[in-house]
């Protein structure tokens, strides 16, 4: 495919950006608020920023498992949407909601009752554990509303209703920023709560987001907003098909998030400055990475819809375009990271060691962006949309566990390498993974109609 033919299908790009940009904007709002959270907590000191980062790693593990359920369910929703099977969308949403609520109760209970035990897995620093436990205990109250919001957000995206999730996220996270300032530093009669205040603000914002999504989805009668009977109408054929398609997605997200958790443990146990730099790098990178998340999720909706409509050649054409377009535009995003690195001393109240490490890590991250963009397109946009979830699970997690984690562990605990060397190790897997993804794309075996016969 030549450069001129790549950009020749204007309808594809109009459809893609109509879906992708609201998703990207929603993710940008999330990333910006996460950065504001990090900056506010960072004003308290290195221990606090490390503690909140590690506590959020446990929430990240929970979030990724929920995303596995909801993302797997969105494969069905997008293809049901292509068939205009509204009953299928409602029962699929109800089943995903049941699973996510069960998971939320489990994780919330563990976080509330055993926060110190959880944090001790990540760090040996007693100050970090104490501060992180105070944050995680309060954050546990956000787990259930977040589970509800996750299901409805991904369902709305899959039926090409992007504005509502974007607007509810904007409202909820605006509340989060305001309450963060009040609760962390104190204002008027409200005492300064430090990291516990950051958790309280987040929990309040999640409750608002869930209420808005539910209320407006039912008021506007969107496809997933069914009665209790409609949302529990799943039969054994559907459940078995859901498990067969979605279990690899859930295991994939669990294996991948566990790997990211282990990476955080490696950096945290290297030293507190290392995990602080790692958290800062991740927060800043989100500001540029949101566009590619939007592209991946957007093209997944388009490909899934085409498969549901039985237009497989159009789905393959969309896949061909996104795996070329995403890496191409990633170069522009990579260059944004370099000037962002110069602003770190003005944003974060951390020592010079942390700042130097974070700057070096952002340069390394920029170099990995084309490979990351390709892999994002393959995992979220192509393989999952096409129901190729078994390969996707292997492809997305295998190199993390066989390349990134062993290399980073050896470099840290055996050779005592600098933090930026560890970061090279955790990014090396993206290069190898891209080669495997290219092979799978060319084989054509990623495309499956998962809603056929149910």
Q: Does residue 425 sit within a domain?
A: yes
Residue 1 has pLDDT above 70, yes or no: no
Mean pLDDT of 423-443: 92
Q: What is the pLDDT of residue 454?
A: 67
Q: What is the pLDDT of residue 214?
A: 94
For 238-267, the pLDDT digits (tens) are: 888 888 888 888 888 788 878 888 888 898
Q: Does residue 448 sit within a domain?
A: no
Measured in residues, the chain has a length of 454
Q: What is the pLDDT of residue 382?
A: 92
Q: What is the pLDDT of residue 123?
A: 77
More confident residue, 161 or 349: 161
For 265-274, the pLDDT digits (tens) are: 898 888 888 8
The 10 Å Cβ neighbour count of residue 195 is: 27
Q: Which domain holds residue 393?
A: 3-443
Residue 138 has pLDDT above 80, yes or no: yes
Euclidean distance between CA atoms 161 and 176, whole angstroms? 24
Mean pLDDT of 108-137: 88
Residue 3 has pLDDT above 60, yes or no: no
Give the number of domains in the chain.
Answer: 1
Q: Does residue 449 sit within a domain?
A: no
What band does 387 get if pLDDT is binned at 50, 70 and 90? confident
Residue 436 has pLDDT above 60, yes or no: yes
Name the average pLDDT for the chain.
Answer: 86
Q: What is the pLDDT of residue 6?
A: 65
Residue 200 has pLDDT above 70, yes or no: yes
More confident residue, 216 or 260: 216
Residue 453 has pLDDT above 90, yes or no: no
Nearby residues of 270 by Cβ (< 8 Å), 6 or more positions away: 412, 419, 422
- Comparing CA positions, the residue from 53, 60, 62, 148 lying closest to residue 108 is 62
Q: Does residue 450 sit within a domain?
A: no
More confident residue, 177 or 2: 177
Q: Does residue 452 sit within a domain?
A: no
Q: Does residue 9 sit within a domain?
A: yes
Asked if 385 and 75 count as a contact pair (C-beta separation under 8 A), the reply is: yes
Mean pLDDT of 363-371: 90
Per-residue CA distances from 229 to 79, 121, 220, 226, 270 (Å):
22, 43, 19, 8, 53
Nearby residues of 421 by Cβ (< 8 Å), 6 or more positions away: 411
Residue 4 has pLDDT above 80, yes or no: no
Q: What is the pLDDT of residue 216?
A: 95
User: Which residue carries 């949407």 as its tokens?
Assistant: 81
Residue 41 has pLDDT above 80, yes or no: no
User: Which residue carries 């506007």 as its tokens?
Assistant: 220
Asked if 47 and 272 count as a contact pair (C-beta separation under 8 A), the reply is: yes
- Comparing CA positions, the residue from 169, 177, 179 lying closest to residue 208 is 169
Q: What is the pLDDT of residue 42?
A: 72
Euclidean distance between CA atoms 12 and 315, whole angstroms? 11
Tell me the torsion sign for CA atoms 69, 72, 76, 79: positive
Q: What are phi and psi of 416, to 5 degrees?
A: 60, 40
Q: What is the pLDDT of residue 57?
A: 78
Q: Does residue 451 sit within a domain?
A: no
Per-residue CA distances from 407 to 150, 404, 417 (Å):
34, 5, 11
Q: Does residue 335 sit within a domain?
A: yes
């Amino acid at each position: 495919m030549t450069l001129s033919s790549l950009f020749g299908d204007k309808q594809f790009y109009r459809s893609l950006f109509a879906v992708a940009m609201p998703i990207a904007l929603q993710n940008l709002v999330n990333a910006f608020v996460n950065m504001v959270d990090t900056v506010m907590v960072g004003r308290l000191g290195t221990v606090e920023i490390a503690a909140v980062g590690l506590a959020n790693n446990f929430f990240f593990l929970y979030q990724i498992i929920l995303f596995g359920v909801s993302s797997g369910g969105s494969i069905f929703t997008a293809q049901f949407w292509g068939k205009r099977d509204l009953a299928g969308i409602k029962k699929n949403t109800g089943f995903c909601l049941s699973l996510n609520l069960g998971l939320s109760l489990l994780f919330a209970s563990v976080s509330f009752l055993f926060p110190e035990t959880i944090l001790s897995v990540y760090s040996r620093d007693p100050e970090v554990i104490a501060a992180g436990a105070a944050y995680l205990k309060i954050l546990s109250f956000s787990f259930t509303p977040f589970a509800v919001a996750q299901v409805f957000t991904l369902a709305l995206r899959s039926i090409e209703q992007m504005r509502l999730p974007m607007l509810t996220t904007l409202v909820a996270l605006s509340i989060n920023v305001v309450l963060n300032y009040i609760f962390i530093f104190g204002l008027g009669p409200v005492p300064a709560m430090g990291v516990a205040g950051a958790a309280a603000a987040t929990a309040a914002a999640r409750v608002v987001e869930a209420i808005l999504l539910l209320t407006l989805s039912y008021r506007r009668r969107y496809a997933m907003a069914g009665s209790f009977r409609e949302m529990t109408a799943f039969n054994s054929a559907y459940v078995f098909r859901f498990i067969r398609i979605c279990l690899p997605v859930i295991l994939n997200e669990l294996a991948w998030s566990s790997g990211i958790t282990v990476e955080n443990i490696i950096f945290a146990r290297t030293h507190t400055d290392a995990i602080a730099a790692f958290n800062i790098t991740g927060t800043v990178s989100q500001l540029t990475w949101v566009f590619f998340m939007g592209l991946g999720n957007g093209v997944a909706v388009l490909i899934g819809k085409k498969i549901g409509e039985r237009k497989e050649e159009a789905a393959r054409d969309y896949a061909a375009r996104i795996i070329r377009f995403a890496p191409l535009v990633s170069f522009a995003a990579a260059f944004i990271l370099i000037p962002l690195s110069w602003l770190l001393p003005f944003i974060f109240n951390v020592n010079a060691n942390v700042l130097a490490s974070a700057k070096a890590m952002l340069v390394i991250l920029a170099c990995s962006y084309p490979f990351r963009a390709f892999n994002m397109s393959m995992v979220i946009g192509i393989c999952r949309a096409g129901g190729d979830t078994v390969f996707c699970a292997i492809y997305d997690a295998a190199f993390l566990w066989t390349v990134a984690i062993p290399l980073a562990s050896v470099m840290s605990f055996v050779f005592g390498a600098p933090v930026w060397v560890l970061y090279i190790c955790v990014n090396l897997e993206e290069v190898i993974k891209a080669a495997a993804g290219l092979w799978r794309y060319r084989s054509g075996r990623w495309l499956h109609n998962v809603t056929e016969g149910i």
